[in-house]
Amino acid sequence: MIKISNETCHWLLSADEPYISYNVKQFLKMPTDRSELIDDPFIRENINLLTSWNKEKLKNHSRPQLLIHRLALLADLGVKAEDAPVRPVIESILKDINLEGIPLVLMEIPEVFGGSGKTEKAWMLCDFPVTLGALLKMGVKSDKLHKGLLVLENFVRENGYGCGASILNFKGPGRKDDFCPYANVLAARTLSETPEGLKSRAAERACESLLFHWENRGQKKHFLFGIGTDFMKLKYPYVWYNILHVSDVLSRYEYLHNDKRFIEMINTIIDKTDETLRFKPESIYMVYKAMDFGNKKEYSRLLTLSVLKILKRIGRI
């Protein structure tokens, strides 16, 4: 059991950014003012960017500035569906959910991967769970989301989630029968947003694929995703495939808290702390270089808070 020192608590609470201060207070179970979060310039900026939801063309899922990732970031920071500034954005997103409950986005898939090379509304297993999970986390109530969750569950295979898309001939950069680590972390993250999803066989298979990948790290890459130097670097927000993202997702499943493989991941993260339980980003997204979590030379309150949330969830602090 790890104790958070008063020094660390004071440091966390000294954040200049209102949205970080708000999240710290929530974590420490202190009184909060909702306007502190919603009126924060960074939060407002991202909500404003989301008004272009129907105009953005998705080409590369790893770009943190994509609107699907900005939506997920807002959800992670505590923005809710009832918050007035975000309501028009959510209404717009819900209009682009098809009859199956799958959120669609504009994308351009090259012919070499089975696409038409033209811009079309479509989905892939590395984008629709991001949107679906963010909306669920924000507390959006819609039958469409329930349908989408069932569709996501039905995509799972015995070895977890593979590669999939609405484009008929789409083929990702891997063997057809392999699992895709990134698709699995996104699916497990989304399924964790409902009590039913947490208990689902689909979530169990997705989590097991992630733990299997960790257990056999260094042996094989699946759909170009490996567990090496880059994977081990602490990085925020949760956009791509790395140790903090995977650990955050797995920590949501209580039955995994004593899994030897998961404990190895957690201990790897803990080994990166200083004596006061603070963490520095080891890799950054340049689009966020001006933010608290965008400087590798300084301890990050938001990154530290993200780790502390994981440790609290699993009973380590």
Nearest to 93 by CA among 43, 144, 44, 45: 144
Residues 6+ apart with CB under 8 A from 91: none
Residues 6+ apart with CB under 8 A from 143: 101
**12-32 confidence digits (pLDDT tens):** 999 999 999 999 999 999 999
**228-279 confidence digits (pLDDT tens):** 999 999 999 999 999 999 999 999 999 999 999 999 999 999 999 998 999 9
Cα–Cα dist 272/275, whole Å = 10
pLDDT the model gives residue 219:
82
Residue 15: phi, psi to the nearest 5? -60, 135
- The pLDDT-based confidence of 114 (bands split at 50, 70, 90) is low
Cα–Cα dist 54/229, whole Å = 36
DSSP-assigned states of every residue in 123-185: -BTTTHHHHHHHHHHTT---HHHHHHHHHHHHT-BTTB----BSSTT---SS-TTS--HHHHH
Cα–Cα dist 188/207, whole Å = 6
Residue 119: phi, psi to the nearest 5? -75, 130
- The pLDDT-based confidence of 176 (bands split at 50, 70, 90) is confident
Is the pTM higher than 0.85? The answer reads yes
List beta partners, residue 100: none
CB 280 within 8 A of CB 234: yes
167-176, 190-199, 264-273, 297-306: lowest mean pLDDT where? 167-176
